[in-house]
Structure 1
Amino acid sequence: MSLLKAATDVRENAYVPYSHFKVGAAIRAASGAVYVGCNVENVAYPEGTCAEAGAIAAMVAAGETELTEVCVIADSPEPVPPCGGCRQKLAEFGRHEVPVTLATTAGKQFSTTIGALLPGSFSVHHMTLAGRD
């Protein structure tokens, strides 16, 4: 299944009564399975959920913990990158070289990687001395 089509389709399910800004995300796991998510707003900001976080949660709920490809789509003049929190979430489950496609509903696309989106990411490497005295 095309990640762009999956992200485009799930975007229509976004719950965005406040911003009216629908975002769809699709990720491919190491198994090849595709997981999707859409943004879900809440009147009590910032209690909403980003599309990328929803797709990651679906992947983890299915028992997978490694993603190999990402696609995010929104109705915007330029492709919309994931927020900072979602960049860190993507880095938790994907290697630096994992391809990320950012797209607009008008057909513009930008290709990048998780590592390029979040250089200098915080990782388990930073915690290697945690708990040692």
Structure 2
Amino acid sequence: MDELVEGARDALDAAHAPYSEYRVGAALRAGDGTVYTGCNIENANYSNSLHAEEVAVAAAVKRGVRSFERLAVTSSERDGVTPCGMCRQTLSEFCGPDFPVVCDEGETTTEYRLGDLLPNAIDAETLGK
């Protein structure tokens, strides 16, 4: 199994999902090879919940990392979960359209490109910056 997928699976152990019982883990490889992981952290007010991918991005960014090579995402269901729209937009802040996103389906994985998951992302150019 892919090292990054294993990291995402390991991150599931820390997930806090008492409401949906749907645990998600993410592992994000930085440009220097360091892997940052994240898990979902639910809140009774669902809109305050944190997603695994954004937790992994935040772990890296708070250490000054802004360059990423690859992301793996898994769930306790091993159902091939992909990042939600909000997480796709967060990833596009730091990653280009060719950025690989690997989704765990249990025995296999499916790899997508961020630009295929989120075409026409909002970016600095969109905002006139």
Q: TM-score, normalised by structure 2?
A: 0.93
Q: Aligned Cα RMSD in Å?
A: 1.5
Distance apart, 1:125 and its partner CA: 1.1
Find the aligned partners of 1:45 and 1:74 in 2 and give their Cα distance.
Answer: 18
2:7 is matched with 6
Fraction of identical pairs, as percent: 36
Please say if 1:81 is aligned against 2:82.
yes
Question: Any stretches of 5+ residues in structure 2 without a counterpart?
Answer: none
Find the aligned partners of 2:117 and 2:12 in 1 and give their Cα distance.
Answer: 22
Question: Any stretches of 5+ residues in structure 1 without a counterpart?
Answer: none
Find the aligned partners of 2:108 and 2:33 in 1 and give their Cα distance.
Answer: 25
CA radius of gyration, larger in: 1
* Structure 1 runs (4+) greater than 2 angstroms displaced: 75-78
Number of corresponding residues: 128
Cα deviation code 1:48-100 (max 9, x no counterpart):
10000000000001110121100000133630111110000011111111111
1:35 is matched with 36
Q: Tell me if the contact between 1:101 and 1:111 (Cα under 8 Å) persists in the aligned partners.
A: yes
Q: TM-score, normalised by structure 1?
A: 0.90
Q: Tell me if the contact between 1:78 and 1:108 (Cα under 8 Å) persists in the aligned partners.
A: no
